[in-house]
Structure 1
Amino acid sequence: MNILQTIFTDYYEEIKYTLHPRPSEMENIEKMINCGDPSFGGAMYGCPHCGKLKFVPFRCHSRFCPTCGNKYSMDRTTSMSFKLINVPHRHCVFTIDENLRDFFLQDRTLLHCLFHSVASVVSRMFFKMNKSRNFTPGYIMVLHTFGRDLKWNPHIHCLISEGGYSDDGVWRHITHFNYTYLRNAFRTALLNEMESLLDPSFKKVKALCYSKHKQGFYVYAKPNKCDPKTVVKYIGRYLGRPVIATSRIDKYDGEFVTFHYNRHEDEKYVEETLPAIDFIKRLIRHIPEKHFKMIRYGGIYARHREIDKHLHRAIAKEKHRVFRSFNQWRIAILSSFGYDPLQCPDCKHKMEFLELYYNHQRVSLEELYEKAMSKSRGKRSSA
């Protein structure tokens, strides 16, 4: 067990009966605690050279898990690379006033407002540049709810193409982004949408935000991050990665947890010690609701747009090429964690798959495949 699994296992009963976690929180906690437990099954591999056997347990596939979350982040980065056209992209961060943060914590449906507001201001900025040709950019939005200190701080990382396609397939390159407009428009769009969903008392908070942020909410652009390869690698750090890496947890004595981070403002090294239950509270609040989409695509990257059918040929020529075998399990583990899971620890030869174990039962690959196919056929016949 890693240190995070140990902490959550020790406080499992207290979490369940005193913190009253949301269903999605409890589901991900249980997945993370049992990640890599051989009793839940796994695959047996053998070395054809020396006869060494190796059992690889199933993983939990939870983004909250420090192991599976890293792999998920890498897979999403690769998936994003396939969608990007080969043009420069701008990485912008849309932040909000700290007085608004608790609204999103108490009512998580409001997180949709962040996506809606960013999408509307980006689209309008490009529309204002050339109304007659209707140039449409491609943009990808990623919700990030935590800062380096693990506190609740929802904000949007947005990857925006430096240009757009018109309805007739003409590309226009744009290097100047109107950040003054983005700041003011994002503040107005977000506050107006929140006001329409909340009770009248929100008007006081809205007025306070306008007086405090006369230049709009802070919209930050990372400098020199426009190359597609560089910007995808950078924003990949925010794609569903775990709230905290186990390497940042320095000490756990059964009651207190000590972790460290570099402060965002000045990169100063900070070490913080919290009671274990408070540390757990900080972590689990960042677990999203089940089926909530943390990554959303807009403009020419949106799947539902009818116009994409007409632009497909033009865009396909500009797609950014990446190494597709990155999706393979073996290479993914090697790239994420620095070791080859199928390399024989004795003779260093490649190990081969032998059989699966599921719920304490030996299952051949053919049996598992046949079971999956019969289940699929059953679904089709019932439909």
Structure 2
Amino acid sequence: MLYILHPRDSVVENVDKMLNCGDPSYGGAMYGCTECGELKFVPFRCHSRFCPTCGNKYSIDRTTAMSFKIINVQHRHCVFTIAEELRPFFLKDRELLNCLFSAVRSIMLRMFHKDNKTECFTPGFILVLHTFGRDLKWNPHIHCLVSEGGLGNSGLWRSKTHFNYTFLRNAFQTALLNEISKHLDTSFKKVKASVYKNQKNGFYVYAKPNRCKPSAVIKYIGRYLGRPVIATSRIDKYDGENITFHYHRHEDNELITETIPALEFINRLIRHIPEKHFKMIRYYGIYARHRKSDKKLNHAISKEKHGILLSFNSWRECILTSFGYDPLTCPKCGNTMVFLELYHNHKRVPLDEMYEKVMAKAKGCRSPAFN
């Protein structure tokens, strides 16, 4: 049924991965209980961002990685949107999505550099591309998490709480239209003129203060920047032909329930699968640099806490958090099971010293299951 929609190669690859996620024939890991000898085979996952299970793990990993870069200053969440008549161009030619990043990057740096041309204050900001609206329709826009301040050439930090909305709207419109013009032929000139005529105040940019404190940065990033296209909790019903889901309309926050054919629902979802190797999250300013002077900045999360946060991102912790049970607890005696060996397509793969140590521990148990 999927091929009726003439899917892109990246769609076929991700859907195929998702359908085979957790299939034991693709291999997995064997765990054993050192107390009673109970064995448990855990199949490999697909690691596709489109998969409901693996996509959630991907979002958690990306959110944690972003939080490590955040410096200990106030941040602001900005949203850059485009004119509705431009959306089909990005759907037809996905290379144009790079123009969104380039346009936002240029105006954010320009806004800070205008404060002092000598110091050339540079903020730290993270750009995340969302191609979906709450109704799952194609609506590419950029979420930006930017520091309310920048680092100057002399190492001086200057706070910045006033964002010029008029500049952001007009500058973003001009920068984006110029970027698109570089990639399209002269036929785009008519569309460009029409956009300027219809959008006299520039493109809508949300940049109001939202109290994004460093102490709450992980929760904030996860909520606004790391979310998937649709959470399974928003899917209400499937009767074999139609799918019912709900969302809160952006304009007035009214609860909307929509029922559409399953094929249309699938079509809305798969169009948001990015091309292979396309980066949906990009770092700019001081978050993209690796200068010695930038290392002196105080980060919101200390290096000592990095290991603690990463430990919560493990497969075991994610299952425990999401489903409320420990996958490595022995179903017979309740003891914690130990890793034994890996299988790829049911072919045993020898491991290094860690494998030898684990096997030695298993063989030394009271149960004859490992002997």
TM-score (norm 2): 0.88
Q: Which residue of 1 aligns with 2:349?
A: 363
Q: Which residue of 1 aligns with 2:367?
A: none
Q: Which residue of 2 aligns with 1:245?
A: 231
Q: Does 1:320 align with 2:306?
A: no
CA distance in 1, matches of 2:224, 2:351: 36
Q: Which residue of 1 aligns with 2:104?
A: 118
* Cα pair distance change 1:318/1:237, threshold 3 Å: closer
SS at match of 2:277: coil
The alpha carbon displacement at 1:323 in A equals 4.3
Matches within 5 A, 1:132-211: 132-211=118-197
CA distance in 2, matches of 1:365, 1:288: 35
Q: Which residue of 2 aligns with 1:35?
A: 21
| Structure 2 gap ranges (5+) | 357-371
Q: Does 1:15 align with 2:24?
A: no
CA distance in 2, matches of 1:213, 1:355: 61
Q: Is 1:69–1:240's contact at 8 Å kept on the other side of the alignment?
A: no
Q: Is 2:63–2:222's contact at 8 Å kept on the other side of the alignment?
A: yes
Q: Is 2:143–2:225's contact at 8 Å kept on the other side of the alignment?
A: no
CA distance in 2, matches of 1:344, 1:264: 46
- Paired residue total: 351
Q: Is 1:326–1:332's contact at 8 Å kept on the other side of the alignment?
A: no
TM-score (norm 1): 0.85
* Cα pair distance change 1:251/1:367, threshold 3 Å: farther
CA distance in 2, matches of 1:202, 1:57: 50
Pick one of 46, 49, 52 that aligns with 1:63.
49
The alpha carbon displacement at 1:104 in A equals 0.2
RMSD: 2.2
The alpha carbon displacement at 1:260 in A equals 1.8
The alpha carbon displacement at 1:337 in A equals 4.6
Q: Which residue of 2 aligns with 1:351?
A: 337
Q: Is 1:88–1:228's contact at 8 Å kept on the other side of the alignment?
A: yes
CA distance in 1, matches of 2:135, 2:354: 44
* Cα pair distance change 1:175/1:279, threshold 3 Å: same
* Cα pair distance change 1:338/1:98, threshold 3 Å: farther
Q: Which residue of 2 aligns with 1:52?
A: 38
SS at match of 2:95: helix
* Cα pair distance change 1:336/1:228, threshold 3 Å: farther
Letter in 1 for 2:128: V
The alpha carbon displacement at 1:20 in A equals 1.9
